Amino acid sequence: MADLGRYRHKVFVEKLGWQLQCEHGLEYDQFDRDDTIYVLAKNDDDQIIGTARLLPTSKPYLLGEVFPQLLNGQLPPCSSDIWELSRFAAVDFDSSSTSALRQFSSEAAISLLRQSMETAMRVGARRVITVSPLGIERLLRRAGFEAARAGAPMKVDGMSIFANWINPSKNAWRSAEH
């Protein structure tokens, strides 16, 4: 967990400049609980190069608690079969060809997203919702996912973010693999 917290701090605070409450260079928030599911990508040296967090919307989660305004007046979902994907990043800090912005188009990001969707389905998700920067749309299109905005993008702390529905079914993205 400490490695995960350091990685997230490096991505979200140091590289992307998010204003997050962090202690000792570790990025965690109130949604990092015992029941949180993490999907990690690691390189050959066992270093984290990607992460995603999955939370059921039947318990407190980022969109519902912090960013409900992104839902265009709709109530935040609250269901055991709708899960939130948050804190998604795919940055290999040891690679000279990876930037924080490139995280939304790399093969590693696509692989991490697919693994995250497979994990979400294994725990019962029929739909996934995200709070994301606009760049995630490019990743979803490139990976062939069925996705739709839940509301219009909004500027928060100078960054355009939006809520996005994703169909996690492998049938929804299988054709993009070839």
What is the reported pTM? 0.87
Query: Token match 């994703």: residue?
Result: 166
Q: Tens of pLDDT along 123-160?
A: 999 999 999 988 888 888 888 889 999 999 999 878 89
- For residue 171, the model assigns a pLDDT of 65
Q: Tens of pLDDT along 32-47?
A: 999 999 999 999 999 9
Strands (E), 19-100: 37-42, 48-56, 82-89
Strands (E), 1-144: 37-42, 48-56, 82-89, 127-133
Query: Please, what sign has the CA dihedral across residues 105, 56, 36, 21?
Result: positive
Domain locations in the chain?
A: 36-177
Q: Read off the DSSP letter of residue 124.
A: T
Q: Tens of pLDDT along 50-91?
A: 999 999 999 999 999 999 999 999 999 999 999 999 999 998
Query: Token match 């920067």: residue?
Result: 133
Give the CATH superfamily of 36-177: Gcn5-related N-acetyltransferase (GNAT) (3.40.630.30)
On the question of pLDDT at 121 being above 60, the answer is: yes
